[in-house]
């Protein structure tokens, strides 16, 4: 009697191909063609054409941009980050166009804290199976993030790894490179007591604290597709709001003072909130006093706090609470800086001041 499931023919195993293992070259080639159409829209004259090359070429010296050939000692700035567990919400809602923007924002906003001009970005996407309905919106989001940042999407990698990721899931990471004149690197060394803290509003949660957000949603048995009156949209739409990219706003603030260092410190308010991130730019002898009554956090923060019964102090340690970036400068310049930033569509508010004391943030 013949054995069940015998895959041998004439004593030899049937031939296997890469497609049998789950990797489809035809899908890959279509994906690359479609991605390249979108990627080219981020190119500036600094990008050097290199068809089918093994890397991307970018000309550092160019007569446009924030500093316009004024680099005497150019310093490259590199950042990398991902999107984190916010991706789980994208999977659940089958919406992938916003998290690509998040991926760009996480690196670019960090880079801006040093006063750098974003030059180019690369992404890495890994998935079990290449699905154009998932990956094209995802890359389109990365393209949009690069446009908002004023940088080129110089390249990337989309790895197909059958059996490694559940169907419909992926991970994405980004890598950004920028440049800053050595003498204009913003390190926070010039911050002094009496300086003022300017808060730049966030677009919402950005991309941090989503492990807690997901726990709250799960415990409260909330539907991501339910419309929340306080938000004017569904909960899922609110949670997938992309991270605000501050490149144009910061460029407007820095570009107005090409000879004088007016901005003394910039902090990207990511995981850890204001409490953990602002001290990263403070000198050892300076303390930041932040008046939490000086702004009203967007409704989503109050809803999450209520749904999860989260202590207020914990909220400020996990979330940005409506302030996505802070700038420290002297009170003499703060109004002009605020005006230039608001002209780029980002609302600002003075939220505190610097005093003498140990390096930390005091909330009041």
Digit-coded pLDDT (tens) for 286-314: 999 999 999 999 999 999 999 999 999 99
Residue 280 forms part of a structural domain: yes
Total tally of structural domains belonging to the chain: 2
Is residue 17 a part of any domain in this protein? no
User: Which DSSP category does 179 fall into?
Assistant: E
Question: How sure is the predictor about 255, in pLDDT bands with cuts at 50, 70 and 90?
Answer: confident
- Cβ–Cβ under 8 Å, residues 71 and 179: yes
Q: Do the domain assignments include residue 1?
A: no
Is 348 in the same domain as 240? yes
Residues 50 and 161 in one domain: yes
Average pLDDT over residues 50-63: 60
Res 31 pLDDT > 90: no
Position 330 in a domain: yes
The pLDDT, as a whole number, for residue 55 is 58
CATH of the domain at 238: 3.90.650.10
Q: Identify whether residues 278 and 163 lie together within a single domain.
A: no
Length, in residues, of the chain:
364
- Is the domain of 267 the same as that of 325? yes
Q: Which helix (H) or strand (E) holds 337?
A: helix 331-342
CB 73 within 8 A of CB 181: yes
**CB-CB contact of 240 with 93 (8 Å):** yes
Please report whether residue 189 resides in a domain: no
- 89 and 62 assigned to the same domain: yes
Listed residues 184, 207, 224: the one ending a domain: 184
Give the pLDDT confidence score for residue 310 in this predicted structure: 93
Domain's final residue, options 184, 213, 236? 184
Residue 41 belongs to a domain with what CATH number?
Answer: 3.30.1330.10
Query: 157: domain range?
Result: 22-184
203 and 269 together in one domain? yes
Q: Is residue 48 part of a domain?
A: yes
Q: What are phi and psi of 292, to 5 degrees?
A: -70, -10
- If asked whether residues 152 and 268 sit together in one domain, one would say no
H helix or E strand, kind and range, residue 288: strand 286-290
Per the listing, tokens 């308010």 go with 269
Asked if residue 176 and residue 275 are part of one domain, the reply reads no
Q: Is the pLDDT of residue 10 over 80?
A: no
Among 308, 78, 94, 111, smallest CA distance to 209 is for 308
Predicted pLDDT at 278: 95
For residue 43, pLDDT over 80 is answered with no
Task: Examine residue 7 and state whether it is found in any structural domain, yes or no.
Answer: no
- pLDDT tens figures, 113-164: 999 999 999 999 999 988 889 999 999 999 999 999 999 998 889 898 988 9
Please, what is the average pLDDT of the chain?
86
Domain co-membership, 232 together with 86:
no
Q: What pLDDT does residue 261 have? A: 83
Q: In Å, how far are 153, 162, 165, 184, 331 from 123, measured between CA atoms?
A: 8, 20, 18, 28, 39
Whether 270 and 122 share a structural domain: no
Q: Are 148 and 245 in contact (CB under 8 A)?
A: yes
**End residue of a domain, out of 140, 158, 184:** 184
Q: Are residues 152 and 252 in the same domain?
A: no
Domain presence at residue 10: no
| DSSP letter string, 19-41 | TTTT--HHHHHHHHHHHHHHHGG
Cα–Cα dist 341/298, whole Å = 20
Tell me the pLDDT band of 168, cut-offs 50, 70 and 90.
confident
Contact 203, 109 (CB under 8 A): no
Where is average pLDDT lowest: 67-81, 225-239, 293-307, 349-363? 67-81
Express each pLDDT in 272-287 by its tens digit. 999 999 999 999 999 9
Same domain, 296 and 177: no
Task: Please tell me the predicted confidence (pLDDT) of residue 194.
Answer: 95
- In this prediction, residue 18 carries a pLDDT of 46
Task: Please give the structure tokens belonging to residue 137.
Answer: 């919106």
Please give the Cα distance from 173 to 364 (Å, whole number): 36
């Amino acid at each position: 009697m013949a054995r069940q499931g015998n895959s041998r023919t004439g004593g030899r195993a049937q031939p296997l191909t890469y497609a049998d293992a789950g990797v489809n070259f035809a899908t890959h080639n279509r994906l690359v063609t479609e991605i390249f159409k979108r990627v080219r829209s981020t190119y500036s004259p600094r990008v050097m054409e290199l068809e089918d090359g093994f890397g991307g070429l970018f000309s550092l010296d160019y007569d446009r941009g924030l500093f316009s050939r004024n680099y005497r000692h150019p310093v490259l700035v590199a950042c990398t980050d991902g999107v984190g567990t916010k991706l789980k919400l994208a999977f659940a809602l089958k919406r992938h166009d916003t998290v690509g923007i998040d991926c760009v924002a996480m690196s670019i906003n960090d880079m801006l804290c040093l006063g750098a001009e974003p030059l180019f970005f690369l992404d890495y996407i890994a998935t079990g199976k290449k699905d154009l309905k998932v990956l094209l919106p995802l890359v389109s989001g990365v393209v949009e993030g690069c446009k908002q940042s004023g940088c080129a999407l110089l390249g990337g990698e989309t790895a197909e790894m059958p059996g490694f990721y559940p169907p419909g899931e992926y991970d994405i990471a980004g890598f950004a490179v920028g440049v800053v004149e050595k003498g204009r690197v913003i390190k926070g060394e010039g911050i002094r007591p009496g300086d003022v803290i300017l808060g730049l509003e966030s677009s919402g949660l950005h991309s941090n604290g989503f492990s807690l957000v997901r726990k709250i949603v799960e415990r409260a048995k909330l539907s991501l597709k339910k419309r929340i009156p306080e938000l004017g949209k569904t909960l899922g739409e609110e949670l997938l709001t992309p991270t605000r990219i501050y490149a144009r706003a910061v460029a407007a603030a820095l570009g107005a003072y090409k000879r004088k260092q007016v901005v003394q410190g910039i902090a990207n308010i990511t995981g850890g909130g204001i409490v953990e991130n602002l001290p990263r730019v403070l000198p050892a002898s300076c303390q930041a006093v932040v008046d939490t009554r000086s702004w009203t956090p967007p409704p989503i923060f109050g809803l999450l706090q209520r749904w999860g019964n989260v202590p207020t102090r914990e909220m400020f340690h996990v979330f940005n609470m409506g302030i996505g970036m802070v700038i420290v400068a002297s009170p003499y310049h703060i109004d002009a800086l605020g005006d230039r930033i608001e002209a780029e569509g980002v609302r600002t508010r003075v939220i505190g001041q610097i005093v003498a004391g140990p390096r930390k943030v005091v909330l009041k």
